[in-house]
Amino acid sequence: MLAYSRTKSIGVQKQGEDRRVVSGVLEDELYAMACELAVHWPTLTIESAQTKMKRFSTSRCPLAESVFTKAEGWKLGPDLDARIKKELGRKGCRHMAVLMVECLRNLVRAEFAREFKSAKQKEPKTDVREFLAEFYSRYPSLKEYLRLQ
Amino acid sequence: MILDFQSNSLTTVEQVEQGLWLVTTRYDDNLFSAEAVLTVRFPTLDITRADLTVKRDVLGLAPDLRSAAENLVGVRIGPGMTQIVRGIFGATSGSDRMADLVLDAMEMLINALTVPELRKAMDAGGVSLAQGKEGPKVQLNDKVIGGDMVKLMAQNPRLKDSCVAFFGLGE
């Protein structure tokens, strides 16, 4: 018998040259929530963060929504996951922090995928490891952040 | 607006027999698809079997995961598990993504074991959530754990200051 299940679904959009938008939803037995973020590219800065606690367990859970706006102005980089979990997860909601971390990581994967696909279209023999090194040279703070393997 | 990248994950937790749980996490995005299946003994919460499968790897970067899967056997779900799992994947196969997947599966078992406790708290201290005129047309939170029960739960050292619900209440 199924005791518990959780789904997370995340989608990324490119809105113009310098704006990336990611939206994610999480649903499980206890919670339903949504997270939407706009990131300025290539400064990798979170411009806007909005979260919605849709279904929750305690009367105080909706207070978490205002906590997550503190991420506005933060930059993508190796310390971001820990900062979101510590500063926003503990004072807001641990589950929303997990969703926000995954949204941002997918936003960066999407950028890599988009640029790699474009490079392959121009030069079919593009080597993934060489492209990855070139990608990191343009975005050094993503080297410890982008997890592809 | 049409999306140009998507990811979906599903974790399921089931009790397959008395004292034995099965946790399955499946992840899919445009570049990568993988599954982690853990068999966990209860109440000791140690992993007795781990199966890790990469189903699609567009970039061809996924390492061999066999030794990592073997090293997960015996790992206990509980305090310190993050460091242990990261160590296993960092040392043997270098797959942060699979480490994330395995840790996700382990945390979902903890969540599954928490659900009955929260149900009890809801039954004992459930309250109606006050809604203003601008409240939703369809109510998803007709009953939530309220005031006194939240304060009582906040005294639990594991919950104290763990999130906004309990922050500052466990004095």
What is the structure's pLDDT at B53?
95
- 3 state DSSP class of A61: helix
Report the alpha-carbon distance of residue B122 to residue A57 in Å, rounded: 8
Contact B14 A8 (CB under 8 A): no
Chain B positions touching A67 (Cβ under 8 A) are 164
Residue B152: pLDDT band with limits 50, 70, 90: confident
- What is the spatial distance between Cα B103 and Cα B113, in angstroms, rounded to a whole number? 16
Q: Which CATH architecture has domain B8-114?
A: 2-Layer Sandwich (3.30)
The answer to whether the beta carbons of residues A103 and A46 sit under 8 Å apart is no
How far CA B168 is from CA of B25, B155, B171, in Å, comes to 34, 10, 7
A contact test, residue of B2, B5, B15, B65 with most A CBs within 10 A: B5
- Burial class of residue A8 in the structure, from the number of CB atoms within 10 Å of its CB (0-12 exposed, 13-18 middle, 19+ buried): buried
Cα angle value B59/B86/B18 (rounded, 5°): 105
CB of A16 within 8 Å of a chain B CB? The answer is no
pLDDT classification of B64: cutoffs 50, 70, 90 = confident
Is B92 a residue whose pLDDT tops 80? no
pLDDT of residue B167: 86
**In chain B, % of residues over pLDDT 70:** 95
Instruction: Give the total residue count for chain A.
Output: 149
- Bridge pairing between strands B5-17 and A2-14: antiparallel
Q: Name the residue with higher pLDDT: A72 or B167.
A: A72
Q: Is the pLDDT of residue B81 over 60?
A: yes
Predicted pLDDT of residue B135: 74
* Domain spans, chain B: 8-114
Angle (nearest 5°) at CA A70 between A66 and A72: 120
pLDDT < 70 stretches in chain A: none
Tell me the C-alpha distance between A47 and A20, whole Å: 10
Rounded CA separation A97/A68 (Å): 8
Contact B3 A11 (CB under 8 A): yes
For B29, which of A59, A90, A106 is closest by C-beta distance? A106
Helix, strand counts (H, E) of chain A: 4, 4
- Chain A partners within 8 Å of B111 (Cβ): 4, 6, 28-30
Q: Which residues contact B156 (CB under 8 A, 6 or more apart)?
A: B170
Partner residue facing B164 (CB), from A7, A30, A91: A91
* B1-22 pLDDT per residue, tens: 899 999 999 999 999 999 999 9
Burial class of residue A46, CB neighbours in 10 A (0-12, 13-18, 19+)? buried
B111 and A28: CB-CB below 8 Å?
A: yes
pLDDT at B158: 81
Q: Where are the domains of chain A?
A: 6-142
- Give the range with max mean pLDDT: A104-108, B132-136, B146-150: A104-108
Model confidence, pTM:
0.94
Whether chain B has a CB inside 8 Å of the CB on A82: the answer is no
Please name the residue of chain A whose CA is at the shortest distance from the CA of residue B14. Answer: A2
Express each pLDDT in A27-43 by its tens digit.
Answer: 999 999 999 999 999 99
